[in-house]
A and B are shown apart, each in its own frame.
Chain A
Amino acid sequence: MEVIRQPLNGEGGGEDLRIRQVRARQLLRGELEGEDLERYVEERVLMTTLEQAQNWARANAVWPLGFGLACCAIEMITTLAGPRTDLSRFGAEVTRSSPRQADMLILSGRVSIKMAPIIRRLYDQMLEPKWVISMGACASTAGMFNNYALVQGADKFLPVDVYVPGCPPRPEALAYGVIKLQNKIKGQPDLGWRERYQSYGTEEQSA
C-alpha cells in the first residue's frame, strides 16, 4: 500500500491549502452538500485490506529494543536519536526498555557465547510480530573475532531479517536497513537483485 502525500502549495495537482481548509470547515459545520460532499469523502476514504493496513501500521511503528552490545551500539544510538538520521521519521525511534514492548531487536556488536542465551531470552520475550536487524560485521559473522569467545554469526541462534554490513555501519546504512525492514514488513521485500539482473535459474545447486 502506497501512501502519497499531496504537496500543499498547489503544485503537482494538489489543491491550495486555503481551499482545503475552508472545505474542511464547511464539512464540520454541515455546510457541504451534494457533489462537493461526495468528492470530499471520496478523496479521504482509503480502500484497502485489513492485512495491508495492519502491515502499514506495523512498518511505520517498529519500536526497537534499547539494547546495545558493543561499539556498534554507539553508532546505533546516533542513528536512532541523532538529529542527522532521525529514525523517528520512520517511526522507529521509540526505544523501549522492556522487550515486551519492543518490535525490533538491533544486534549492535559482537555476540559472545555467554551473552547468546541472554539475547535469545530477550528475543523470546518480545511479542509477535518481531524482527531482528544484525548490525555490523560482528553480529553477522563475528567479524575479525574468529575465536573461542564469540558466536560466529548471530543467526546461529535466532532468525535475522536484515544484515547491515560495516564496521561499524554508517548511520545512513542502519537507517537504510530499517527502511529495508519496513519494506519487508509491508510485504514488498526489495531483496531484488535477481529481478534487476533477471538472474532466476542461476541459483547454486547442491549436487
Chain B
Amino acid sequence: MPDATGLELVAAEVRDKFGDETVVGTHYYREAATLEVKPESARDVVGYLMEDAKEPYDFLASLHGCDYFPDEPRLSVHYQLLARERADRLCVKVRMGVDEAEVPTITDIFPGASFDERETYDMFGIVFTGHPDLRRILMPEDYVGYPLRRDFPMGGEPVIFTFNEGQMPRWYE
C-alpha cells in the first residue's frame, strides 16, 4: 500500500498528467489507499497507472461495483490495482449517479476485465461504453432489473420469523 503521503504523490502525478479536475479526492482509511477520479477519465487514469506512471501497477486484481444508497452519487466502480513486484495496492474509484451510470471500458488495457465489467453491468446496471460484448453474465438474459442495487427487492419468498409474525395476522391459516 502506498501510505497517505504516497497516495498524495500518486494523486499529484495524475493531476499533472490529466488536469486538476480529474482527481475528485483521495481517501486513506485503514491503510487502504483510494484515489477517486471522474468517471469519464477512469480508463485514462487506470491505463496511465498501469503503464506510464513512475511506479506502475501492472495487475488488475479486481473490478467491481458498489451501491452507496442513500449517499449520492449512488453507484461506483472500483479498480483494485496491484503492483506485483512491490506488492503494492491502489484502489481507483469512480462514483456516478444512477441516471448517468456510464464509465469507459478498460478491456483494451486489461482484456481480463471483460467478465468483471459484464458482471458489474449485470448486477448494478453500470454501462461500460466501448465494451465489445456487454451482456448479462450471471443472471438470465431476459432478467429485468439490477439485483445488487439497494433499491432492488430482495426476492425469494417471505419467511415468518418471530420479529415479523405479528405483521402477518393469522398467517398459520
The reply to whether B159 and A146 contact each other, CB–CB distance below 8 Å, is yes
Interchain CA distance A207-B147 in the complex, whole Å: 38
* Minimal Cβ-Cβ distance residue in A for B153: A148
Q: Which A residues from 121 to 155 make CB contacts under 8 A with B?
A: 142, 145-150, 152
Name the distance in Å between A143's Cβ and chain B's nearest Cβ.
11
Query: Do residues B156 and A150 form an inter-chain contact, with CB atoms below 8 A?
Result: yes
- Which of A114, A147, A207 makes the CB contact (< 8 A) with B156? A147
Interface residues on B, range: 10 to 19
Would B140 and A148 count as touching, CB distance under 8 A? no
B154 touches A148 (CB 8 A): yes
Q: Which residue of A lies closest to B154 (CB)?
A: A147
- Cross-chain pair count, CB within 8 angstroms: 31
A113 contacts the other chain (CB 8 A) = yes
Contact of B140 among A114, A147, A152 (CB under 8 A): A114
**Nearest residue, chain A, Cβ from B140:** A114
Residue pair A152, B139 in contact (C-beta under 8 Å): no
- Cα–Cα, bound, A207→B173 (Å): 9
Residues in chain B near residue A142, CB distance under 8 A = 156
Is B140 in contact with A146, judged by CB distance below 8 angstroms?
no
Q: A146-B155, A148-B156 are in contact. List 18 more A-B contacts (CB 8 A).
A: A113-B139, A113-B140, A113-B143, A114-B138, A114-B140, A142-B156, A145-B156, A146-B154, A146-B157, A147-B154, A148-B147, A148-B152, A148-B153, A148-B154, A148-B155, A149-B138, A149-B139, A207-B173
Q: 13 interchain pairs (CB within 8 A)?
A: A114-B139, A114-B140, A146-B154, A146-B156, A146-B159, A147-B147, A147-B154, A147-B155, A147-B156, A148-B147, A149-B155, A150-B156, A152-B156
Which positions in A face B, CB cutoff 8 Å? 113-114, 142, 145-150, 152, 207
